[in-house]
């Protein structure tokens, strides 16, 4: 048996956002790069294939269904649209990297043989790649909680399967009311599925202030989603065409039927099969690759970017991870994870909930002297944009330091929130005062001009 041997300046394992960004930049800088991705269906990583792009496209499609549209036919057409776009993105991602003279993309599972060498494939197709610098970008995968009967249920579905299957489930039970769970609940309810969310916490979105969480719940339940908090699932039993999900709440036992059952209780770093032990790379108790503030592992020549390093699981954080590593390899080596301030997050329900900085509860817990400004979107006179698109549900809330007049945080549950929050984040990062943000001139009609009314006056 003859093994193909390749030598590179940099080996990237995983085609995620962080890995591909680094590969592009390093290749453009003239370095010889080999990128290994274990699945041809994941060129580009989670986001364009089974994450952000398909789910947000489904958000868009789902809100366009008319009463006269047949739910199943409309859903099947929507899935076909998703498949078309994700296929184009996947092909584009592959071509843009593999088309570079300095970059080679290999499809297969990489396994460390030693700290500088991996093998890819088996038998006659086996390839050995050696490089002085290695970047891990293998992402994360959904976790199936240890609920009796759940893992073996034929009605169990993953978020990936939901974005690819053309059959609309009649009844969907979502286990977990976090970002992923609520996004899918909102999407499928709008498509016409009967959705139940089972959340173990006593209230929805426990990290947010109670008024914001309650406003979000009001919208979701208003759309027809059944939300049960304080629910402890005890078992899942298949019963013909449905699964019976048994749960306890307030000392009583209940059950709900599901044609599809989605666990949305978190994701785990993907390191299985990598043989990190052969590379001498340490992992955390949670299974993530252990890194320092420059994203180096305990092996200084090996970096880890994106979900696999146990940091915030967002595509844009993986992008920033790549910037930190590239600064180490091509720049001045000054960027660190500590540089990140006011990183915004968005929950893509309809309308979306975007947050940044401190909540009111967190600010008060720190003993800060604060001003709070909040209004329901329907009451914001300066925001006719909400009325022009017929989406007046939600609430905007700002937390301001009363002593410095600096914005500490915001929660925007409104149309366009995913865009507007970026302006707030920029203001926080650059110490733009609340007064300046409130009194600025914004386009009309826009959602941003709500700042003129909601941000509290000094």
Instruction: Write b or e for each residue in 175-211: b if 16 or more Cβ atoms lie within 10 A of its Cβ, otherwise e.
Output: bbbbbbbbbbbbbbbbbbbbbbbbbbeeebbeebbee
Instruction: Write b or e for each residue in 363-398: b if 16 or more Cβ atoms lie within 10 A of its Cβ, otherwise e.
Output: beeeebebbbbbbebeebebbebbeeeebbbbbbbb
Name the phi and psi angles at 288, rounded to 5: -80, 155
Per the annotation, binding residues for NAD(+) are 176-183, 199, 266
Name the phi and psi angles at 378, rounded to 5: -65, -20
For the record, the structure tokens of 334 come out as 């000054």
Beta bridge partners of 172: 195, 260
Per the annotation, binding residues are 56, 138-140, 176-183, 199, 266, 307
Burial classification of residue 270, based on how many CB atoms lie within 10 Å of its CB (0-12 exposed, 13-18 middle, 19 or more buried):
buried
DSSP classification of residue 122? S
* 430 in catalytic set: no
Q: Where are the beta strands (DSSP E) in 215-266?
A: 226-229, 232-239, 242-249, 252-258, 260-263
- Phi-psi region at 139: left, alpha or beta (left = phi > 0; alpha = psi -120 to 50): left
306, 137 contact by CB (below 8 A) = yes
| Pick from 110, 101, 90: nearest CA to 40 | 90
Please pick, among 116, 345, 430, 444, the residue that the annotation labels catalytic.
444
Per the annotation, binding residues for FAD are 56, 138-140, 307
Kindly give the interhelix angle for 17-28 and 71-98, rounded to the nearest 10 degrees.
30
Burial classification of residue 100, based on how many CB atoms lie within 10 Å of its CB (0-12 exposed, 13-18 middle, 19 or more buried):
middle
Beta bridge partners of 41: none
Report the alpha-carbon distance of residue 39 to residue 113 in Å, rounded: 20
| 399 membership: H or E segment, kind and range | strand 395-401
- DSSP H helices, 237-359, are 276-279, 315-329
Active site residues: 444
């Amino acid at each position: 048996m003859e093994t193909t041997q390749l030598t590179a300046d940099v080996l990237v394992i995983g085609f995620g956002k962080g890995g591909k960004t680094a590969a592009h930049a390093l290749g453009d800088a003239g370095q010889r790069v080999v990128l290994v991705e274990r699945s041809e269906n994941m060129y580009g990583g989670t986001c364009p294939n089974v994450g952000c792009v398909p789910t947000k496209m489904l958000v868009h499609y789902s809100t366009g269904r008319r009463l006269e549209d047949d739910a199943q036919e409309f859903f099947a057409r929507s899935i076909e649209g998703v498949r078309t776009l994700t296929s184009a993105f996947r092909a584009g991602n592959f071509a843009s990297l593999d088309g570079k003279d300095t970059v080679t993309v290999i499809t297969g599972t990489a396994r460390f043989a030693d700290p500088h060498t991996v093998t890819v494939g088996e038998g006659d197709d086996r390839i050995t790649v050696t490089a002085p610098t290695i970047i891990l970008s293998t992402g994360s995968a959904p976790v199936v909680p240890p609920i009796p009967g759940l893992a073996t249920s034929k009605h169990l579905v993953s978020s990936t399967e939901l974005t690819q299957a053309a059959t609309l489930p009649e009844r969907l039970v979502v286990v977990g009311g976090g970002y992923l769970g609520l996004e899918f609940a909102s999407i499928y309810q709008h498509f016409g599925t009967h959705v139940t969310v089972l959340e173990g916490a006593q209230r929805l979105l426990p990290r947010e202030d109670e008024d914001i969480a309650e406003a979000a719940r009001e919208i979701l339940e208003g759309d027809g989603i059944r939300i049960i908090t304080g629910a402890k699932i005890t078992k899942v039993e298949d019963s013909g065409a449905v699964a019976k999900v048994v749960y306890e709440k307030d000392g009583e036992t209940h059950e709900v039927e599901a044609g599809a059952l989605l666990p949305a209780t978190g994701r785990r770093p993907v390191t299985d099969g990598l043989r990190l032990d052969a590379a001498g790379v340490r992992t955390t108790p949670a299974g993530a690759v252990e890194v320092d503030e420059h994203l180096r592992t305990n092996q200084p020549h090996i970096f880890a970017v994106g979900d696999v390093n146990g940091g915030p699981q967002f595509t844009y954080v993986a992008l920033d991870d790549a910037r930190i590593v590239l600064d180490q390899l091509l720049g001045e080596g000054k960027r660190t994870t500590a540089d990140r301030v006011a990183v915004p997050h968005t929950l893509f329900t309809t309308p979306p909930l975007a947050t940044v900085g401190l909540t009111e509860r967190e600010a008060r817990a720190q003993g800060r002297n604060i001003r709070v400004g909040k209004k329901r979107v329907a009451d914001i006179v300066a925001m006719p944009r909400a009325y022009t698109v017929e989406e007046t549900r939600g609430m905007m809330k700002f937390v301001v330091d009363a002593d410095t007049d600096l914005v500490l945080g915001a929660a925007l549950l409104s149309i366009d929130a995913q865009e507007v929050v970026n302006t707030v984040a920029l203001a926080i990062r650059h110490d733009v005062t609340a007064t300046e943000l409130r009194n600025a001139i914004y386009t009309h009609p826009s959602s941003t001009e709500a700042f003129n009314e909601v941000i509290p006056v000094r």
